[in-house]
Amino acid sequence: MRLRTQVLLLQLAVLAVSLAVGFGLVIAGADDRVRDEYAQRALAIARSVAADTGVRAAVAANQGPAVDAARLADGPLQREATAVRQRTGALFVVIGNDQGIRLAHPEVAELAKPVSTDPSRALAGSDDVATDRGTLGESVRAKVPVVDARGRVVGFVSVGVSTEQLATETRSDIIATTLLALTALGIGALGSVMLTRRWRRLTLGLESDELAELVREQGAVLHSMADGVLAVDADGIVRVINDRARALLDIDAPAGTSAADLGLTPRVAAVLNTPTDEPLAATVSDRVVLVSSHRVHADGRDLGMVLSVIDRTDVEALSHEVDSIRSMGAALRAQRHETANRMHVLAGLLRHGHADEALAYLEELSGTGPDGALLDGLDNVREPHLHAFLDAKAAQARERRVTLRLGDQTWLQGTLTEPVVATSVLGNLIDNAIEAASGGAIEAASGTGTDAVVEVEVIADGHTLFISVADSGPGISFDDPDEVFAEGATTKPGDHVPGGRGMGLALARQVARRIGGDLWVADPGGERSPTPEHDPPGALFVARLPGVIAPVESDEGVSSNE
């Protein structure tokens, strides 16, 4: 017998036995269940009435064995009890005082008389639920104490539901349960047959041992791969995800979760939704990954999408290190040229006997230093990392025919506690500004444009570093300036870059926000800002980096950055 046939018979047997046992227990306990439900209902009604402020005050005012029945018939307690009984469908709502005398009853003739059942437990301060017979017949009733403002028991509320009503509802439940069991058995049998047919179609006719072998092979292959693999079916439900993909995409959700609930970044989600053969770079938490996807078809059916994820974090870190080395190399090369030129001047002056002029020239050089020749005002940046970094960037800008200058507000003392964070954000901003302004530099060299300028300001406020970078470029062309921080957003050609371009600003903002700061566009510049309030008039970016600098303390113990 094939496994599918065995499973079908087993399902039918289990279904029949389960329904017989389950519904048998339901039918057997129907009376007790209904009785308990009505008892709890009566108890809830009684507690609600007993908690009413007006009821408590009226009961406290009618103590003792002698009460006026005529006054009670039109009193607030009788009206409240009648209203509650009509509203809830209870058999009776009776209110009594501390002597067990009825202050409210469905039959007016019973007012001012002792109750027919024992109220001692309620008058002792405890709830009492029982089945008993009174003047209105057998009922499931609940008695609840009524306390005055000082917490003393001054009476009770008794609410009952007729047992005849319980019996009627129990019979209805048994009939409905029996019909439901028979219907469920029929539906279950039909569903088991359909499930067996669907199973055969989904498993492509494979038997259980063959399926088990496939699963073992798939697990061994997927979890031994160095790349991440995420597969979703045609409905967007995750079917396969290996450990590497979980780590790279920061996913904790189990297989069977909708792709929309995985918390993927917009760029990764877009690649998962649209087949992408060329790997694209994306940022996930503090990682940079390359993602690609393709659609899978089998036997003419769409089986879904497979997403491949490759870790590029180390490569990106190496790229940043190479960029830093390149920038410093450019600065050293520029300084070497400057030094050679100065030595030639000194040699010429001394060779021709102009000692005074040579001495003056040396004093001028010692006053400005080799750094000052590249970037005016760099002495205001006394933090060693940023001092050297800005010097290197000035040399790099100079080679691109762009003038890098420091803003008038620049003043910085202290020591960076997070130099990688600060230089990463500042470097990305300066690189983008130089790229934007360099087009104007080419036009200026040909006589058709204006001078290309990038202005940088760095200011410290306590432990927070503020950076602003403006350029003389054409500004941001996006309708929403904030789109410049989107992954892949760029106007530069990037076919030669693995994964594309447009990652610099996205990474810079990610780095800033990871430490609790931010990076934003203060002014898009260009046509979107026809009357800019800053010079140069291009785009203006501002970054706030908290906790990245340790300020220098003055003799009085006050931070010199303040």
Helix, coil or strand: residue 311 = strand
| Calpha distance 317→163 (Å, rounded) | 80
Task: Tell me which residue of 452, 379, 404, 456 sits closest to 425, measured CA to CA.
Answer: 456
> What per-residue confidence (pLDDT) applies to 529?
66
Q: Which alpha helices (H) appear in 446-519, and where do they start and end?
A: 504-514
Read off the tokens for 424. Answer: 């990463």
Alpha-carbon dihedral 283, 285, 286, 291, rounded to 10 degrees: -30
Cβ proximity of 56 and 146 under 8 Å: yes
Helix 53-60 and helix 30-51, axial crossing angle in degrees, nearest 10: 70
Read off the tokens for 307. Answer: 């997403």
Read off the tokens for 555. Answer: 């003799």
Helix, coil or strand: residue 103 = strand
Read off the tokens for 120. Answer: 């001692």
Query: Nearest 5°: CA angle at 216, between 212 and 218?
Result: 115
Cis peptide before 536 (omega within 30 of 0): yes
Cβ count within 10 A of residue 193: 13
Kind and range of the H or E element at 287? strand 287-298
Query: Nearest 5°: CA angle at 17, between 12 and 23?
Result: 120
| Calpha distance 122→99 (Å, rounded) | 11
Read off the tokens for 370. Answer: 């080799």
Taking 3-state DSSP, the helix, strand and coil percentages for the chain, each rounded to the nearest 5, stand at 50, 20, 30
Task: Tell me which residue of 534, 508, 429, 518 sits closest to 465, measured CA to CA.
Answer: 518
| Calpha distance 239→228 (Å, rounded) | 14
Q: How many CA atoms lie within 13 A of 170 on its CB side?
A: 18
CA distances (Å), origin 157, targets 72, 81, 166, 256: 15, 9, 21, 54
Cβ count within 10 A of residue 311: 18
E-only strand ranges, 127-166: 128-134, 137-147, 153-162
Residue type, position 500, single letter: G
Kind and range of the H or E element at 95? strand 92-97
- Asked whether the CA dihedral 99, 105, 107, 109 is positive or negative, the reply is positive
Read off the tokens for 455. Answer: 């202005």
Residue ranges and CATH numbers for the domains of the chain are 3-168 (3.30.450.20), 225-311 (3.30.450.20), 375-492+502-550 (3.30.565.10)
Cβ neighbours of residue 544 under 8 Å, at least 6 residues apart? Answer: 464, 465, 466, 512, 517, 518, 519
* pTM score, whole prediction: 0.47
Residue found under tokens 């090369």? 333
| Calpha distance 242→254 (Å, rounded) | 11
Cβ neighbours of residue 426 under 8 Å, at least 6 residues apart? Answer: 386, 389, 456, 458, 467, 469, 543
Phi, psi at 496, each rounded to 5°: -85, -5
| Calpha distance 410→279 (Å, rounded) | 41
323 - beta bridge partners?
A: none
Task: Tell me which residue of 506, 518, 516 sits closest to 544, measured CA to CA.
Answer: 518
Task: Tell me which residue of 110, 116, 105 sits closest to 157, measured CA to CA.
Answer: 105
> What per-residue confidence (pLDDT) applies to 223?
67
> What per-residue confidence (pLDDT) applies to 487?
66
Cβ proximity of 273 and 266 under 8 Å: no
Phi, psi at 116, each rounded to 5°: -85, -15
Helix, coil or strand: residue 52 = coil
Give the pLDDT of the chain (562 residues) as one tens digit per residue. 666 677 777 777 887 787 777 777 666 665 666 678 778 888 898 888 888 888 888 888 888 888 888 888 888 888 888 898 888 888 888 998 888 888 888 888 888 888 888 888 888 888 888 877 766 666 788 899 999 888 889 899 998 887 776 666 667 777 777 777 778 777 877 877 777 777 777 776 666 676 777 667 666 666 667 688 888 988 889 888 888 888 888 888 888 888 888 888 888 888 988 888 888 888 777 677 888 999 988 777 788 889 988 887 777 666 666 665 666 666 567 667 767 777 888 888 888 888 888 888 776 665 444 444 457 888 899 898 888 888 878 877 887 889 999 998 999 988 999 888 888 889 889 988 998 888 755 454 444 445 789 999 999 999 999 999 999 888 888 888 888 887 665 655 444 344 444 567 877 888 888 889 999 999 888 776 666 667 788 899 999 999 999 987 654 444 445 4
Residue found under tokens 């906790």? 547
Read off the tokens for 526. Answer: 């260009």
Cβ proximity of 452 and 401 under 8 Å: yes
